[in-house]
Structure 1
């Protein structure tokens, strides 16, 4: 089966090469440069498509043509048909200009390029976590919630659940936050929206201490307290990655509010949350 698949791909590539003339080649290169200029960088485009940047630069310069397979991947990435990239470059630019006039500009949408940022780096952190922070509603207690980072077609979604039983067996109101994560400058930025109450936005900045150590993500979070009033608060937060063998139920079972000295609080987490000055590094 693999032999025949390779043969068909080779035939398709040969057919495309024979059909393309110099004008089509130059049109393709110009049209490709045009759509690439709408993105953050060539390096990011190549990472997200999964194509060699040196080879991609040959396409941009008109010095090389993509195989049928790579042409399809490029078109899927830019949401174009093959005929679009092979069409007359002036007509293509005019159509793109009309299309872009109907879209929010970077000035109108300042978050257009914020998410996901460096997708390849961010994908390393996809998974389930228990999040920990000092509860603004219960002094000297730690709130443990559950957060899930998922790769949804090139965007990293974030879903956070806070629920459980607090001190003195007080039932907590269940809250769910949905948002996105971005990776910029070796930092993970999380913005989430909770719509079930009166609506609130939380913001978190996390940093991995070492590339090889992804168990703990330390940072700061900003949001609204649950009680006694919905007042703004900010504080340290630390995310601990769930074990590979852990189920979603296992992650949820840790949720709740616990005294800071409770045995369920990891000593590394306790030390970080109680540290008075500066975000500390890895132990």
Structure 2
């Protein structure tokens, strides 16, 4: 049985980018997983169930002889709807169990090209609905010269793949635009800061595309919605209200996985 399972596991792992990614997403020790691949060990019932759920295959099929497994796998793939009909069906939400840990409210920070040497602070809310993690982002504030108040709202979804959080949002008002943010949770036990990059369109001039480092800071649950929105705005980089950790990251004084 070890040999059959090992062959079947190697066959199905070949469909993925790397075994390292598989181990991260399942949550299995890589050394132990390599023992399964080599046939030197068999998973416990618990780990077998986790592997089967991850690859969307029946447990008994993983334990069958390799010829049966390959034939059954080919039959399943032929009868599944093509992912090209809806490429985002498999993209969102990704690892929902991991993503749920990041639900809640955040203040988002990035260097805005519309006002050089200033940091935009907005508010993003992540919540679950019908098995998807939705986002709502609000940006508002006046520029350094106290121009008229700017307001923008984005709605979107986020997903979790390969220890990264992907956020895609759409601005339905004005001319409409799409933004994408990729966040890197530095430590599993630390969710105060989420670092990454964001790509979108500047408010001015001429709504030009831009990219910027971005860092999200978790808003404490005791903070009211009104208080969270009141902090949104456009601030000079050296403003006293800017968290030093945030300022240092945006000014590239620390790396993507820098210490808190």
1:202-230 deviation digits (Å, cap 9, x = unpaired) = 00000111111100000000000010111
How far apart are 1:232 and its partner, in Å? 0.3
Matches of 1:237 and 1:256, distance apart in 2: 15
How far apart are 1:61 and its partner, in Å? 4.5
Q: 1:256 aligns with which of 233, 246, 250?
A: 233
Q: Output aligned runs, 1:120-159, within 5 Å.
A: 120-159=97-136
Residue aligning to 2:170:
193
How far apart are 1:60 and its partner, in Å? 6.1
How far apart are 1:127 and its partner, in Å? 0.2
1:129-181 deviation digits (Å, cap 9, x = unpaired) = 00000011000000000000001121000100001222122233211100000
Matches of 1:226 and 1:55, distance apart in 2: 49
How far apart are 1:109 and its partner, in Å? 1.6
* Residue 261 to residue 188, structure 1, CA distance change in 2 (3 Å): same
Residue aligning to 1:226:
203
Contact 2:237 2:247 in 1 (8 A): yes
Q: Which structure 1 segments of 5+ residues have no match?
A: 1-39, 45-51, 63-96
Higher helix share: 1
* Residue correspondences, number: 201
* Deviation beyond 3 Å, 4+ runs, structure 1: 52-57, 59-62
Contact 1:181 1:189 in 2 (8 A): yes
Q: 2:139 aligns with which of 162, 166, 173?
A: 162
Query: Is 1:181–2:197 an aligned residue pair?
Result: no
SS at match of 1:136: coil
Q: Output aligned runs, 1:261-272, within 5 Å.
A: 261-272=238-249
Please tell me the root mean square deviation across aligned C-alpha atoms, in Å: 2.9
Q: Which structure 2 segments of 5+ residues have no match?
A: 1-15, 17-21, 26-45, 53-57, 62-78
Q: 2:220 aligns with which of 243, 251, 274?
A: 243
Contact 1:210 1:282 in 2 (8 A): no
Contact 2:123 2:228 in 1 (8 A): yes
* Residue 277 to residue 53, structure 1, CA distance change in 2 (3 Å): closer
TM-score by length of 1: 0.64
Matches of 1:189 and 1:156, distance apart in 2: 11
Matches of 2:251 and 2:93, distance apart in 1: 31
